[in-house]
Structure formats: C-alpha cells, structure tokens
Amino acid sequence: MTDSAALLEVATRLVERAEPGEQIEVACGHSVSTTVRVYGGEVESFTSAESHGVGVRVIREGREGFASAGSVDAQLLDRTLADARDNASYAEADPDAGIAEPDGVEAVEIDLWRDDVAAMTSDERIALAIELERKVLDGDDRISGVRIASYGDSAGGFALASTAGVRAHTRATSASLGVQALADDGDRTQTGYAYDGARRASDLDLDWVANRAVSRATDLIGASKPGTKPVSLVLDPHLSATVIGLIAGTLTGDRIVKQRSPFVDRVGEEVAAPALTFIDDPTDAESLGADSHDGEGLACRPNDLVVDGVLKGYLYDSYTGRRSGTGSTGSAVRGTRGLPSPGIHALSVANGDGGSLEDLIAGVDDGILVFNLAGLHSGVNAVSGDFSVGIEGLVIRNGELAEPISECTAGSTLQRLMLDVTKVGSDRKHLPSGVSTPSLVIGNVMLSGSTD
C-alpha cells in the first residue's frame, strides 16, 4: 500500500470514529526496502523488507494517549484506537496538549516518487554494488580491500488525518550507494568511506563514490600526530553539513522550551559570522529532505534560522509552538511508531563568495583539510555547546596540501565555531542527508596533538 491516497482513506475512517470531546490524529505508513551487500565480487547479503505502520493519538481534556501497530488490518486498527484511548485515561492533563490546527499555509506540491526504483530487478541492484566494489579495488594499487560495498533503495507512502480537518499524504523513493575502502599503512589500515543518495539509482554517481573512498583511504597513509596549536579547519560540503547540522539541531523547539540549548533567548542576536546564512527549506525540490507536509500534516515552509549571522528563530511543532506562544513552524517530524517532535527537514546553507574548495584551501596559510570528525556523539554537548572531536585530514601549509595527520582532537564550542567562520564557499551541493551546503573555513580552532 505505497499508494498514499489509500493510506489516507484508512486514516480518515479511523478519525471518523472520534467520540464527542475527543481529538484524534492517525498516521499510516507503508514502505518496501531492499539492501544488497557484496564482498569479493559475491553477494554477502540480500535483504528485502516490507513494513506497515499506524500510530493513533487520542487527546481528551488535555490527556494524551498514543498507541501504534505494525499493520493496517481492520481488527488491529480497532485495538490500536482502543489502546490509545485507554492510555489517555491514565495520562496527566497538559494544557498545551493537542493536535495541530490548520494554519492557512498552502502546501507546495513536490514530486518525490520515481517509478524506476520499483522497476529495478534484483540483478540490477546486485550489479551496482559489485561494480562499486570493483572500481574501488581497481582505483589504486595501495587499496588492500573493501570492508563493505552496498546498494539500497526504498519506496514508501505516508498519510495523516485528524479531527482538526488535516488531510495529507505523500509518497517518496530513494536509492543509495556506500563503500568503505581499506589501504595498507604498515602496522595499521587506513579507511575511507563514501556515500551517495538520490531519488533513483540512475542519479547516483558511482564513480564519485568510488574515487572519494579511494582517496580518503590512500591520502591518510603515513599519517602522524601533529603539534598542538590553533589552526583553520577547511570543511568540504559533506563535513560542513555535519557541523552546521549539529548547530541547527540545537535550534528545535523541544530544546528551547526545556532551556537545553546554548542559543536560548538569543533571537535577534549576532550568533555567527555575517557570511553565514542557513534556513530549513523542505520546499526545495532538489533536496532529499524535501516534503510537502510535516509530521502533523501542516504545510512545510521555509524557516529562517540564521541570516547574515543573526539568529532569526527556532523550529517548532504544534506542542512546542503552543508552549512558546509562537505556534508551529510546520517542522514536526515523526514516524508511525512515535509522537511528533520538532526537527530539521532540509537544512540549506547559502553560498558565499569563497569560490571552490580549492580556492578556500589556497587562501589558508596554516590549517587542516578535514577528512573525518570522530566521536561526534560523545564529543559534542548540545546543552553547553562544548565541542571536542577527533580529526583526520591533510595539513594545509601556505595554501597547499601537505602531509596527512591523525590522532588529534579539535576543541571549541558550537557558539565559537559559528562566529569563527572566515569563509563560505560558492560550491553548494545537495547531499544525501538532505542538507545543502557549500564548503566552509573555520578559523582559530585549537588542535590538540603532540606536545613535542
């Protein structure tokens, strides 16, 4: 039932069973996914999975109950609705609890579906993964092996209906390639990972994935620990997306209402370098994070976050929007097995005037072209903003790439990183994560390595 209109019918029928005084919201989803992993030119695993889901939210007198199920079978739907009602009877009343109310914003219709994905044969999927592995192995004599080469795709539909009159449905496809290359480095092995994603397999850049994995592994051969000193970090779009994504993740309504962000109560303040502008824009059809409706059925819309270095606002779902007094920004994210929460859909960083990645490198006297940021989950405190992660990459000396480095850390804060952006490239790319961003240069970051 990847037909999202049929899913909407299921959700609507359940909503129509609301009793007087009840608010009901029903989310239904269905997806089919395939993953192929190869090793040594042979299929290591081939997995095809199909999943259904329904999530029912019932609110009565401020008491919220939720229940979910892995099927849209009629009898199971009856049980799920009954469980949600029962759960609501045990909940504490919350004056801000409630489903999303239509706010008059018109949805931008976006075509997220490609028929090619469902039409692919198993042999075609396997061939892509095997070809990726072969290209990596043939890419450089120093490549000693491939840890994993994979292809995956998915096709799914989602629908939501509520007693507030919200009716929304969408369907989408995606495809991806990923590979991890291994290169001999004496007593240790260097690794290089690369990944690409698109709406369909024919839009994937297999050559780029293979070449990036090879270069990321071989360029680190002979890496040593650098000295301790402040440097400039040069981040290509993939690494820029990681850093800006961490920062944007602290600008969601749940963190703001709980006072668990370093950017609480700072709207209107200069929080970044004037060259930095980023928004959340699910209406950008080129982004893999694009969508017409959010997780509560409201129309997605562009939301300014930081413009010319100034903090413009936060991302809210209906609940955190009520608590903050601002209303929803159409930023709810969710699946069928959980409640909606505010989040990023399609983060977009504006181009600057810095030129290409090569131009940015040429303008740095003492820095690091970063290949990997390790330990992001444990090394970043999203409440205080403290930032300390492992770094691998190439030294930049007088505008030219030099020796590889590893076994060092970069320390700063998220607040400081934004203020220390010295250059924004003009090489913006739409990435598999849904983030669209150019390369960045961040100055005055303390690199901790050898004390010799």
Residues of the chain with CATH 3.30.2290.10: 4-218
In tens, the pLDDT along 179-227 reads 999 998 877 899 999 999 999 999 999 999 999 999 999 999 999 999 9
pLDDT of residue 452: 57
> Which of 3.30.70.1400, 3.30.1550.10, 3.40.50.2300, 3.30.2290.10 would CATH assign to domain 4-218?
3.30.2290.10
Integer Cα distance of 412 and 446 in angstroms: 7
Contact 271, 301 (CB under 8 A): no
Q: What letter does residue 148 receive in the DSSP assignment?
A: E
- Structure tokens, 92: 């504490």
In this prediction, the residues of the chain whose per-residue pLDDT falls under 70 are 1-2, 451-452
Integer Cα distance of 209 and 336 in angstroms: 33
Q: What letter does residue 328 receive in the DSSP assignment?
A: -
pLDDT of residue 442: 98
pLDDT of residue 1: 43
The residues facing 234 across adjacent strands are 369, 441
Integer Cα distance of 4 and 168 in angstroms: 9
Contact 4, 291 (CB under 8 A): no
Give the three-state DSSP class for 265. Answer: coil
pLDDT of residue 2: 53
- Vertex 397, ends 391 and 403: CA angle to 5°? 55
In this structure, are strands 366-374 and 229-235 parallel, antiparallel, or unpaired? parallel
Integer Cα distance of 285 and 300 in angstroms: 12
pLDDT of residue 136: 98
